[in-house]
Structure 1
Amino acid sequence: MSLKIIPIISILILSVACEPFRFDNYTLYKVLPKNLEEIKILEDLQNSGADFDFWDDPVPTADYINVLSKPELKNDLEGFLAAQGIDFVITLPNIQELIDNEKKKRYTRSNVKTMEWDDYYTLEDIYDWLDDLAKAFPDVVSTIVGGTSHEGRIIKGVKISHGPGRRAVFIESGIHAREWIAPATANYVINQLLYSNDEETKAAAREFDWYIFPVTNPDGYIWTHVGYRLWRKNRRKFGDEYGVDLNRNWNDNWLVIGASSNPASNTYAGPGPFSEMETRTLATYIANMADKIDLYLSFHSSGQILLLPFGNTTEPLANYYDAMKIGRRALGALAFRHGTQYTIGNIAEAIYFAAGTSVDWVKERLKIPLSYCYELRDRGVYGHLLPPDQILPTGEETMDSIIEMVWQAKRFGYMKASNATALKISMKIGRRALGALAFRHGTQYTIGNIAEAIYFAAGTSVDWVKERLKIPLSYCYELRDRGVYGHLLPPDQILPTGEETMDSIIEMVWQAKRFGYMKASNATALKISVLLYLAAIVKLFF
């Protein structure tokens, strides 16, 4: 996510672009420091202003550091590293070959299926696709504008909603222009929320409102297509230099650490917090709906890291431990499909100190409970030039992790359903409990609220604890049997009735935890902090 801007980039900024800049024989090195002393040597090299492009910051936690060299300086870099005894490998001897393979498909207007997952798309194509989705799903999808860019472009996204009153998941992507896998992954998430046949994905799509902005730096993204493929910042001009790092411009510990006051730097934080049109307008949009947002996600590349706030300290602040637990379980789901391994930690402990980021701002200033930054594929081979054939697996595993993150967040009590959705979830929990009940003896139950399942009846215990005490889950079991013995159930049915009922209660507990309704206490995972009220009454009378 971070990189030191260098003089070679400054002199290559073209005021007018007839053809994109070519990176012929530019070489990407994977530098492998063995200790803190070598990290310090690399840090000094980065800060010296030498003509090398650091794709990663030399920090104590770094296993590797990607460094790009122009052709005439390759011998200088290799000689310097050899003299210092620092190991390295050449991962891409000529990055232009990789850039040439980014063919950039064109989207066919009014044919949403032509947005595919084996190539990258222009901003125009992405925006056209979002508009077409809104036409294809008029009752579910609406296009939204989250802000405006320096050059006057809108920051377009979509809202996916199956009805009013729902809590929200917010996804911000593409704030660093060259990280093309980020918008591609955001697009894949949108597509899955609308077209997936996976039951859990469909449930998440229906239960929450999804606000997704694939490209939040539209000017920079266009420049990576038409001018300079490795551009990171926005396109505002400062003297002879261009651009602010939009993910150092948010008003949270602005310029305190991990950012630059030099306009030539790729981590230039701008002349002031929210000085940039993109961050200022997007922040206003987010702040106006902050009370709805339970989960905020930001997509970047690369490194395969899931980052938590905060970037200015390694202290485990706020709900750090819960967020880590949720994140680790999400990464378990991410690794399952393709075996991709991520690490996790707050920004400062996992990669480097960095202030003024979006995830820190929404966490500290807006009090959004869960805020994560995905540093997507890969780890030390392609970096920001991830080949198009990795778009689909990146999208698949990221989607797997998001769905798991949602369910784990609910399990830990962070994402609450609306009243209408809560009723549906209560039914889901109950149905799954009845599935467990039927397994042992084959006994079949039906489910529904009292009025719809049997008759209208007021003044009952389950209604009182639900309405007056706000106990989230309240069920009444009408036990065996169905139309033979009634209240005179023979004693030989006591054991099977008890067995199957116990099976269903245990399943109900675990399903309730999965849906975020029953949190374990710190003392023991077996103590239930939320009451589950069960009234066992024989026959069809209260």
Structure 2
Amino acid sequence: MPFVKTYWIFFCVAIHVTSSQTNKDKVKYDGSQVWQVHLRGAEDMQYIQKLIDSQDVSIWSLTQTRADFLVRDQNKMKVYRRLVSRNLNHTVLILDVQRRIEINTRQVVPALWTENTLRVGHRLSWKKFPTLDIIEEFYNFLAEDYSSICKVQTIGYTAENRTIKMINITDGNPKNKIILITGGSHAREWVSVTSALYILNNIVTKFDTQSNYIKNKNWLIIPVMNPDGYAYTHTVDRLWRKNRRNFTRCNGVDINRNFDSDWGIVGITQSDECKVTYSGPYAFSERETKALRKLIGSLNWKPVALLDLHSYGNLILFPWSARTQATEDFDKHLEVAELMRSAIFKSSKENYTYGATYHKIYPATGTFLDWAYSEGVVHSYVIEIKDKGKLGFLIPPKEIEDTGKELFAAVRALAKYLNTHKRKTESDTEKKWF
């Protein structure tokens, strides 16, 4: 049984949603702000938890030393007074959340087909965040123009009957090591989607000029693991996180809390369906997590690596997420995380830090990261993409391309490492997963 420090029992990164969204009126955040507070210890952490539980704030990011949270206009004075009573100072990160949303989403309206896009065959660009329709166009383009190395596969269907698509890239060698990359598990984390798409685009469209350590891998890339939630952030609520499964009182499960890895720990696993980190009625209750489990089970060879992309925080994380002890591969994780951190810094001068999830940010149960590792994917990592809170989930479109470049630099570093390091024993390379 994993051991959990006492003060974490009171912790859960959660937002209370009072009711399910039953209409298509857009959720507005007029007058809302995002504040950042630096924490001095466990008592401050518990105090922030009280603000969350009272629905006075909605948490965006929480570590042992810092809390970023959204404050609604009507709660600002009350929250300010409560922070002062605790002798906690705050910094305003986003002055007007609704205005920032509007600035960013003006550029999300699908572009018209032009002579250039007609020639290319899709409207995806690195100048704006794409809708699902545009992402589908890009998938179709890849399937048609790069069919010799690229196959678009449906790995499952969502509660709203959308397809979960995976792009399988290979030079045809059945002995290639498999690397799995996922994005968009949390709907509001748009830059995780565009970063996965950027990596995908670079591998496929520039395949012939890639280094051998890229070409000799079998790449499985799922840019949008949560298409229902992602579509909802474009049409109704820009800051929605979960999937869109319907329950009695509220909608949605946090699919990155729904895997069968330390699921059900009292004080961490969230059992309230109206909380943003709701773990679901049971492990693997959701179609998205079932699709990943089925995918992994269908492979002849287990992936050697997983990169699960999220935002935000400039972090490279590895297991465990709900256990205090280090994994048996801790030294390997440190080595690879440092290589990825260095590659990112060389690419963009962005400074990422790294560590085990439990100790670096907060405990979380039922994560894809931990489940994949427990199933034998030794090199399992989460990358929490930039920034460090200045704009958080509302990173502007002008950052899409540079962010994609730095993430692809990390991917190259991982692939190169895997090319030069063998598994524990030679027999492992001949061992099927099932």
Q: Which residue of 1 aligns with 2:248?
A: 239
| Kept in 2: contact 1:65–1:380 (CA 8 A) | no
Out of 1, 22, 25, the position equivalent to 2:31 is 25
Out of 86, 94, 97, the position equivalent to 1:95 is 97
Out of 382, 385, 390, the position equivalent to 2:391 is 382
How big is each residue's C-alpha offset from its partner over 1:281-329, in whole Å with a ceiling of 9 and x where there is no partner? 2211122116241111101111111110111112111211111111111
Q: Which residue of 1 aligns with 2:268?
A: 258
Per-residue deviation, 1:409: 3.0
In 1, Cα distance between equivalents of 2:317 and 2:142: 31
| Kept in 2: contact 1:130–1:157 (CA 8 A) | no
Task: For residue 341 of structure 1, give the secondary structure of its aligned residue in structure 2.
Answer: coil
Does the alignment pair 1:53 with 2:51?
no
> Percent of aligned positions with the same letter in both sequences?
26
In 2, Cα distance between equivalents of 1:76 and 1:145: 48
Does the alignment pair 1:394 with 2:403?
yes
Q: Which residue of 1 aligns with 2:430?
A: none
Could you tell me which amino acid in structure 2 is paired with residue 91 of structure 1?
L
Does the alignment pair 1:73 with 2:52?
no
Q: Which residue of 2 aligns with 1:10?
A: 18
Q: Which residue of 2 aligns with 1:524?
A: none
Does the alignment pair 1:311 with 2:318?
no
In 2, Cα distance between equivalents of 1:269 and 1:181: 23
Task: Write out aligned runs for 1:72-471 (5 A).
Answer: 72-102=74-104, 103-106=107-110, 108=113, 111-112=120-121, 114-165=123-174, 166-196=176-206, 201-256=210-265, 258-289=268-299, 291-364=301-374, 366-414=375-423
How big is each residue's C-alpha offset from its partner over 1:199-238, in whole Å with a ceiling of 9 and x where there is no partner? 5x44233111111011011111111111111111111122
Per-residue deviation, 1:49: 2.6
How big is each residue's C-alpha offset from its partner over 1:28-73, in whole Å with a ceiling of 9 and x where there is no partner? 1111223443233223333x3333101123x43x3x2111011111
Task: For residue 58 of structure 2, give the secondary structure of its aligned residue in structure 1.
Answer: strand
Per-residue deviation, 1:400: 0.5
Per-residue deviation, 1:14: 2.8
Task: For residue 366 of structure 2, give the secondary structure of its aligned residue in structure 1.
Answer: coil
Per-residue deviation, 1:112: 4.6
Q: Which residue of 2 aligns with 1:469?
A: none
| Kept in 2: contact 1:193–1:202 (CA 8 A) | no
Per-residue deviation, 1:106: 2.5
Task: Write out aligned runs for 1:29-40 (5 A).
Answer: 29-40=35-46
Could you tell me which amino acid in structure 2 is paired with residue 52 of structure 1?
V
Please give the root-mean-square deviation of Cα atoms over the aligned residues, in Å.
2.3
Task: For residue 14 of structure 2, give the secondary structure of its aligned residue in structure 1.
Answer: coil
| Kept in 2: contact 1:305–1:375 (CA 8 A) | yes
Per-residue deviation, 1:184: 0.5
RCO higher in structure (CA 8 A, sep ≥6): 2
How big is each residue's C-alpha offset from its partner over 1:369-414, in whole Å with a ceiling of 9 and x where there is no partner? 2110111111011111111111111111110011011212333324
Task: For residue 18 of structure 2, give the secondary structure of its aligned residue in structure 1.
Answer: helix
Per-residue deviation, 1:332: 0.4
Between 1:327-336 and 1:161-170, the stretch displaced more is: 161-170
| Kept in 1: contact 2:314–2:387 (CA 8 A) | yes
How big is each residue's C-alpha offset from its partner over 1:102-146, in whole Å with a ceiling of 9 and x where there is no partner? 221526576356421121011121122111111111111110112
> Larger C-alpha radius of gyration, 1 or 2?
1
| Kept in 1: contact 2:57–2:69 (CA 8 A) | yes
Task: For residue 66 of structure 1, give the secondary structure of its aligned residue in structure 2.
Answer: strand
How big is each residue's C-alpha offset from its partner over 1:396-433, in whole Å with a ceiling of 9 and x where there is no partner? 1110011011212333324999xxxxxxxxxxxxxxxx
- Residues 322/224 of structure 1: CA separation in 2 closer, same or farther (3 Å cut): same
| Kept in 1: contact 2:122–2:138 (CA 8 A) | no
Task: For residue 67 of structure 1, give the secondary structure of its aligned residue in structure 2.
Answer: strand
Could you tell me which amino acid in structure 1 is paired with residue 125 of structure 2?
E
In 2, Cα distance between equivalents of 1:281 and 1:249: 12
| Kept in 2: contact 1:196–1:202 (CA 8 A) | no
Per-residue deviation, 1:196: 3.9
In 2, Cα distance between equivalents of 1:361 and 1:290: 18
| Kept in 1: contact 2:214–2:416 (CA 8 A) | no
In 2, Cα distance between equivalents of 1:147 and 1:283: 10
In 2, Cα distance between equivalents of 1:164 and 1:345: 34
In 2, Cα distance between equivalents of 1:241 and 1:299: 26
Between 1:207-216 and 1:252-261, the stretch displaced more is: 252-261
| Kept in 1: contact 2:323–2:358 (CA 8 A) | yes
In 2, Cα distance between equivalents of 1:260 and 1:295: 28
Number of aligned residue pairs? 408
Could you tell me which amino acid in structure 2 is paired with residue 104 of structure 1?
V
In 2, Cα distance between equivalents of 1:377 and 1:112: 30
In 1, Cα distance between equivalents of 2:29 and 2:51: 22
In 2, Cα distance between equivalents of 1:49 and 1:274: 30
Could you tell me which amino acid in structure 1 is paired with residue 32 of structure 2?
Y
Note the residue ranges of structure 1 that are not aligned, 5 or more in a row: 418-542
Between 1:207-216 and 1:94-103, the stretch displaced more is: 94-103
Per-residue deviation, 1:23: 1.3
In 2, Cα distance between equivalents of 1:323 and 1:31: 30
In 1, Cα distance between equivalents of 2:146 and 2:264: 43
Could you tell me which amino acid in structure 2 is paired with residue 332 of structure 1?
S
Task: For residue 291 of structure 1, give the secondary structure of its aligned residue in structure 2.
Answer: coil
